[in-house]
Amino acid sequence: MRVNKDDQVIILSGASRNKGATQDKRYRVLAVDKANGKVTVEGVNVVQKAVRRSRRNPRGGMLSMEMPIAVSNVQVVCTKCNKPTRIGARFAEDGAKYRVCKKCGADVSQIGPARGKK
């Protein structure tokens, strides 16, 4: 999975108010669930949940929370070229592994530490 926490993404499918690559709606990834292939995105797929009164929630009532969506429904926005893109991976000369933008070829972030030449 090439999506990480705090990445900027666009929504490709789902609720009509959120989706669309042509819109300038960018969202931040809050959490990534690699085992289930889901990501939680800020302000997307917000649901209302009824909560009983408790010490943690003394008033009770309706609580709004973000639910995860499938990772296939989001696309990462490159920080360098500022365009939605696919993400690849490559090894640097020192053996460090980087996430790479497929459009401009820029390094998005480092995945693994340097281990020596490969």
pTM exceeds cut of 0.85: no
Whether residue 116 has pLDDT greater than 80: no
- What's the CA gap between 87 and 89, in Å, rounded? 7
82-88, Cβ contacts within 8 angstroms, sequence gap of 24 or more: 84/10, 84/21, 86/2, 87/2, 87/3, 88/2
Predicted confidence band of residue 114 (pLDDT cuts 50, 70, 90): confident
% residues pLDDT > 90 (the chain)? 39
In this predicted structure, the answer to whether residue 118 has a pLDDT above a threshold of 60 is: no
pLDDT at 112: 77
| Domain with residues 1-77, CATH architecture | Roll (2.30)
Contact 57, 43 (CB under 8 A): no
Does residue 67 have a pLDDT over 60? yes
Say which amino acid occupies 39. Answer: V
Domain residues of the chain, as ranges?
1-77, 85-118
Beta strands 38-41 and 69-70, pairing class: antiparallel
Cβ pair 17, 71 in contact under 8 A: no
Q: Are 77 and 85 in contact (CB under 8 A)?
A: yes
- pLDDT over threshold 60, residue 22: no
CA distances to 29, 63, 67 from 38, rounded to whole Å, are: 11, 22, 9
